[in-house]
Amino acid sequence: MKFAMIGAGGIGCYYAAKLVAAGHEVVFVARGEHLTALQQNGLSLEHPYFSFAGSVSATDVEGLCKQYKGSDFDLLFIASKGSTTSAIMEQMKVWLDQCDTPVLSIQNGVMNEGLIANTVGVKRTIGGLAIKIGAHVLEPGVIEATGMAQIDFGAWPSESANPNLKEFLIELSAVFEEAGIPNQLYNDVSYALWRKLIINNAVNPITALTMKDTQTVTRDPILRQTVYQIMQETARAARFANVNMTEDDVEDMFKLICEFDAIKTSMLVDREKGRQMEIQEICGPVIDYCRQSGQPAASTELICHLLQHASGQMLET
C-alpha cells in the first residue's frame, strides 16, 4: 500500500517506519528543522524491539499537495497535534476534494474525526488512536519510541453508521499485523476514542502541571485520587455524548495507567520544550459536556486552569 503520514513527529514517524520496513511506500509529511533533517539525513529511530535508519520520502503539506495527487495513496494518516486539525483540513481541502482516499486520525482527543468528516465526508473518515506508545523527537530526524505501539481504529462514528469502509478496514488490519503493528478494529470506534480520553484527560494535564511522569503521579496518594476523579468525570462526559462508558471502563483505565511503566506524556514533553499543549483538545470536551449535563467536571476544570496559569497558555472562555 501507499500511505501519507501527515504529522510525522515521534508517533507518526514510528508507524511510518514500521510500514516502510514492511515494504510499503510512505510519504512523511513534517515541517521545520525536523523536515529538513528527514530530507537531508533520513530518519533514525530506536525502539527496544525495532530500529530504523535510512532515507525517507519527506515533504510538507504544501509539497504533498503539489507533488502528489490524493488518489496516489491508499490511506492518509493524520498524526499531528489535535490543535492543527482544522488548519490542515482547510489547507488541504481542494486537494482532498479531488480524490476519495480514506483519512485515518491517530491523534489525541475525540473531536478530530468530526473536523475531518466536515471536510472529506463521513464515508471517508476513520477514527483511530495510538495506544501504549511513547515516542518523541530527540532532535530533528531522530526519534526514540517505547511501548507495544498499538493502533485501534474503525469506521467513524461506528461501523453501523458507516458500513462502506468495512472491507478496506479488514485489509488494513492485516497490513498493520504484517508490519508488526498490533491493532484492534472496532465496530464502535467512538467508544475506543473516549476510553483513551479517560487516560489522557486524567494524566496528561497533571503530568504537565507537576512536571512529573505518570508513575510519579499515580504513586502520590492525593494525585492518584485526583486521577481517578478525573476519569469518572470523563466517563460522565462520554455518556452525555451518547457513548456508553461504564464504571468498569474507569476501573480498567485506572488499573492500566497505575501499572504501566513510567512515561512522559506528550503534554509534559510539549511543556518542557515550550510548545503549545493540547489543553483544549483533551480537557475541552470533558469540561463542555459535563457543563451541559449540569454536573461540571470540577477536578478537570481545576487542573486545566492551574496548567494554563502555570504555563502561560491561557484559553479563551
DSSP β-bridge partners for residue 154: 127
Q: Read off the C-alpha cell for 254.
A: 485506572
CB atoms within 10 A of CB 259: 9
Q: Reply yes or no on whether the pLDDT at 132 is more than 90.
A: no
CB atoms within 10 A of CB 148: 10
Every domain of the chain with CATH number 3.40.50.720 lies at: 2-187
Position 167 scores a pLDDT of 97
Enter the pTM of the model: 0.92
**191-311, what's its fold?**
N-(1-d-carboxylethyl)-l-norvaline Dehydrogenase; domain 2 (1.10.1040)
Every domain of the chain with CATH number 1.10.1040.10 lies at: 191-311
Question: From CA 26, how far away is CA 2, in angstroms rounded?
Answer: 6
Question: What pLDDT digit, counting tens, does each position of 145-200 carry?
Answer: 999 999 999 999 999 999 999 999 999 999 999 999 999 999 999 999 999 999 99
Domain 2-187 annotated CATH 3.40.50.300: no
Question: What pLDDT digit, counting tens, does each position of 272-299 carry?
Answer: 999 999 999 999 999 999 999 999 999 9
Question: What pLDDT digit, counting tens, does each position of 61-76 carry?
Answer: 999 999 999 999 999 9
